[in-house]
């Protein structure tokens, strides 16, 4: 068990990967196309990141990163070959819905004399 844990810590440390649920970006499959940002040291901003990406606020973030795919271009600053985030930037793009939110489409039929026309309305329901 300890060997497995040691391997995971080494793997996470040596191969940056994205912590956003359902995001499979890592340096092995995307090369240098994405940048990987460490979680902020500011506790308030860190909690905002964790909530934004659907992780528990107690999620272990020692070697975790969030890839640039989840940030708007206006919060990413290029300095030479490095990319940095503006202070207070929060991941907001390509974030999956939490598992307790379900999107559905309701179909209502409206009778107009002799024909029925479907009317669509998107709804979000919380469990």
Please report which confidence band the pLDDT of residue 51 belongs to, taking 50, 70 and 90 as the band edges.
very high
Over the stretch 7-30, which tens digit does the pLDDT of each residue have?
444 444 567 889 998 899 988 877
The pLDDT tens digits for 97-114 are: 765 545 555 555 555 555
Q: What is the pLDDT of residue 103?
A: 52
CA 25, distance to chain mean position in Å, is: 11
For residue 27, give the nearest of 14, 37, 15, 19 by alpha carbon.
Answer: 15
| 104: nearest Cα among 74, 76, 125, 77 | 125
Considering only residues 123 and 71, tell me which one the structure prediction assigns the higher pLDDT. 71
pLDDT over 60 (residue 115): no
Tokens describing residue 91: 């991941």
Place of tokens 């929060």: 90
Can you say whether the dihedral through the CA atoms of 122, 71, 45, 23 is positive or negative? positive
pLDDT in tens, 52-89: 998 998 888 888 999 999 999 999 999 998 999 999 99
CA atoms lying within 13 Å on the CB side of residue 21: 14
DSSP string, 109-127: EEEETTEEEEEEEEEEEE-
What SS3 class is residue 121? strand
Split at pLDDT 50, 70, 90, the class of 125 is very low
The predicted-structure confidence for 33-44, as pLDDT tens digits, reads as follows: 899 999 999 999
Mean pLDDT of 110-127: 51
């Amino acid at each position: 068990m300890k060997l497995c844990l040691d391997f995971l810590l080494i793997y996470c440390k040596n191969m940056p990967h994205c912590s956003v649920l359902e995001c499979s970006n890592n340096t092995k499959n995307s090369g240098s196309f994405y940048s990987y940002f460490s979680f902020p040291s500011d506790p308030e901003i860190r909690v905002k990141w964790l909530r934004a990406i659907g992780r528990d606020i107690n999620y272990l973030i020692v070697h975790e990163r969030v890839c640039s795919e989840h940030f708007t271009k206006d919060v990413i600053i290029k300095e030479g070959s490095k990319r940095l985030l503006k202070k207070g930037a929060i991941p907001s793009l390509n974030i999956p819905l939490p598992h307790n939110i379900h999107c559905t489409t309701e179909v209502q039929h409206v009778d107009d004399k002799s024909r029925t026309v479907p009317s669509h309305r998107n709804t979000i329901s919380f469990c």
